[in-house]
Amino acid sequence: MAFIHLDIRCLYTLLICTAFGTLSSNAETKVNPPQDFEIVDPGYLGYLYLQWQPPVSLDNFNKCTVEYELKYRNVDSESWRTIITKNLLYKDGFDLNKGVEAKIHTLLPRQCTNGSEVQSSWSEATYWIASQGNLDTKIQDMDCVYYNWQYLLCSWKPGMGAHLESNYSLYYWYEGLDHALECIDYIQAKGKNIGCRFPYLESSDYKDFYICVNGSSESQLIRPSYFIFQLQNIVKPLPPDYLSLTMKNSEEVNLKWSIPRGPIPAKCLIYEIEFTEDDTAWVTTTIENEIYITRTSNESLQLCFVVRSKMNIYCADDGIWSEWSDEQCWKGDIWKEILLFFLVPFVLVSLFVLVVTCMLLYKQRNLLKMISGFSYKTR
């Protein structure tokens, strides 16, 4: 019995020592944060490099794969974007109208630290574009539209606080260009740049498109403005054409139209149809270029519809509706309308002729009476 108690005490002692040894081992495992963490601006108008060097004293972890947890955001953002990476460089786009802040630390996986992940302290970095000029010298009402997925046009208004001699220049960049380019075809009003017509943009879809509009003035500094677009989200298609409205029977109506011309695939479009039955109108949407509608009344005299198009959710996060198409209509009892169209003027003209004829006959009768009376007196 004594031997059994002794074995149990030895077992407890062994377990405590093992646990204590593991905790001590983990407590002693430390790793330094990455070195030389910085945010680098390569001149791409908001596309920044976040780069760093490995931490010092990694000799004890040569057989381990060191990872880094990177967090970054624009200064006024409520949430951080988080990336786990084994690389020493990460690239992403930022709104340079605001500051950028980032932090990073080293991660040692469990297999390197006896079962528990070890993290270093954070290294932090910030980046700001040096502010110049008053805020009211920035351009206003920047608007960019990618017409029919073929040509891009941007326009703006001068800043409220910009002096009359001020002028603006636009620069753009997207991944695939070696460097930022200036607009070569400005839209002008009174000799001032108020917009840009872009050339053909090769391989620019589904990429961040960075724009900077800055200014120059002899009497003041102009605050630059930065924008990031996804071009497929600002596409404005052409309106559909060749509309047809066909009565299939007394109740069912077939509406059909052609797919807008241009490079936009048919699968990327959604259509909005505004249908009018006499004085009642309603709107519906479809991804097909044809729809069947049931009339609310067999007695309706006029059916009309117009349609417009936009990029759908399968090809873009957003889009701009096209202009409305020309209206296509169907009119019931057309012969009655044609009859009324001709009958009413005919009746009016006939009535007028009848009245004139009666007046002429009345005058002629009076004239004959006068002649007869004159002849009687001369006898």
| Residues 222 and 137: beta-carbon distance below 8 Å | yes
- As a whole number, mean pLDDT of residues 62-86 equals 91
pLDDT at 68 over 70: yes
Residue 354, pLDDT score: 83
**pLDDT greater than 60 at residue 63:** yes
Structural contact between residues 60 and 68, judged by C-beta atoms closer than 8 angstroms: no
Please say whether the beta carbons of 312 and 268 come within 8 A.
yes
C-beta separation of 136 from 160 below 8 A: yes
Quickly state the pLDDT bin for 156 (edges 50, 70, 90). very high
Give the pLDDT score at 9. 52
* Res 343: pLDDT: 67
Mean per-residue pLDDT, 97-116: 86
Q: pLDDT tens digits for 173-205?
A: 999 999 999 999 999 999 999 999 999 898 888
What proportion of the chain, given as a percentage, has pLDDT over 90? Answer: 58
Determine the Cα–Cα distance for residues 137 and 222; give it in Å rounded to an integer.
5
Q: Which residue type does 48 have?
A: L
What's the gap between Cα 356 and its chain centre? Answer: 69
**pLDDT value at position 369?**
66
3-state helix, strand, coil in the chain (%, to 5): 25, 40, 40
pLDDT at 372: 63
Instruction: List C-alpha distances in Å: 89 to 39, 58, 86, 268.
Output: 10, 19, 9, 35
pLDDT at 11 over 50: no
**Report for 65-69, 76-80, 113-117, 181-185: range of highest mean pLDDT:** 181-185
List, for residues 196-233, the tens digit of each pLDDT value. 999 989 888 899 999 999 999 988 999 999 999 999 99
- Cα diameter, the chain: 180
Q: Which of the given ranges, 60-74, 268-282, 333-347, has the highest pLDDT on average?
A: 268-282
pLDDT of residue 62: 65
The pLDDT assigned to 13 comes to 46
Maximum average pLDDT range among 271-275, 291-295, 330-334? 271-275
